[in-house]
Amino acid sequence: MSLLLLAGTREARALAFALHDAGMRDAIVSLAGETRHPAAFPFPLRRGGFGGAAGLAAFIRENRISRIVDATHPFATYPEIVRKTAMRAGTDYLRLLRPPWPVRDGWRIAASLDEASAALPKGCRALLATGRKSLKFFEETDAEWIGLRMIDPPSGIGRDGPVQPLALTLDATVADEIATMTAHRVTHLVTKNSGGSNGTARLDAAEALRLQVVMVARPHHPGAGADAVTTVEEAFAALMAAGALSGR
């Protein structure tokens, strides 16, 4: 019986190595496949979607999956499908979901990317930390300049138009972020409330520069809370308590 780890976050990778170090060998890691050069994992890696609930159910059967740990991004759209499919299959399910950042003074909260785009005034210079697929929501804004943080730039983005791709540095310091924002004369930071340590530097930099922060609130996934933990340590402890290493 195998464990299926749905990855895509730092927490997923940390949990994978913790389980491997504890002696687990029968596990599969799954990534959505959006990053061209993913980080290494200690377990076999599959990439790409499952083809909806039916495809996931078939994968569970064919690979004798006894446990699923969903450690995907807080803005992933798949968790509720995963949870319901696991329940129908009789497969243990655990959601590793890091807590959101506490709201800071001056933030403008947007319920969606559409709402975040509408919040940008004419002539602003906006730095987007909302993922490469979010560009379509901001193409019709009247911004003077848009910088889009990304690991793998999508096709069609060059440096001649108002949208400029900017390399995403995962370990950037506050000083690094201040330098970037100052160099590009950024007036607005648009980001998702992903939580975690990665990303706090740009929030601190925006606060230091007194920029307007437009924060996209997390989507609500009904039912995930009953089977959710917020840290790698909690996830590891829950799996050990459930006998993950013994194959139960």
- 58-112 tens-digit pLDDT: 999 999 999 999 999 999 988 899 999 999 999 999 999 999 999 999 999 999 9
Q: How confident is the model at residue 246 (pLDDT cuts 50, 70, 90)?
A: confident
Domain count, the chain: 2
> Is residue 248 in a domain?
no
Residue 39: left if φ>0, alpha if ψ -120 to 50, beta else—which one?
beta
Residue in the structure block whose two tokens are 């949870």? 83
Q: What is the pLDDT of residues 136-166, one digit of tens each?
A: 999 889 999 999 988 766 555 554 557 888 8
Structural domain of 77:
2-99+219-241
pLDDT tops 60 at residue 244: yes
Domain identity same for 90 and 163: no
pLDDT of 191 over the 90 cut = yes
112 shares a domain with 170: yes
Q: What is the pTM of this model?
A: 0.89
Q: Does residue 212 sit in the same domain as residue 113?
A: yes
Mean pLDDT of the chain: 90
Kindly state whether residues 117 and 84 are assigned to the same domain: no
Q: 72 to each of 11, 94, 129, 215, 220, how far by Cα in Å?
A: 9, 11, 17, 20, 14
Structural domain includes residue 141: yes
Domain shared by 76 and 176, yes or no: no
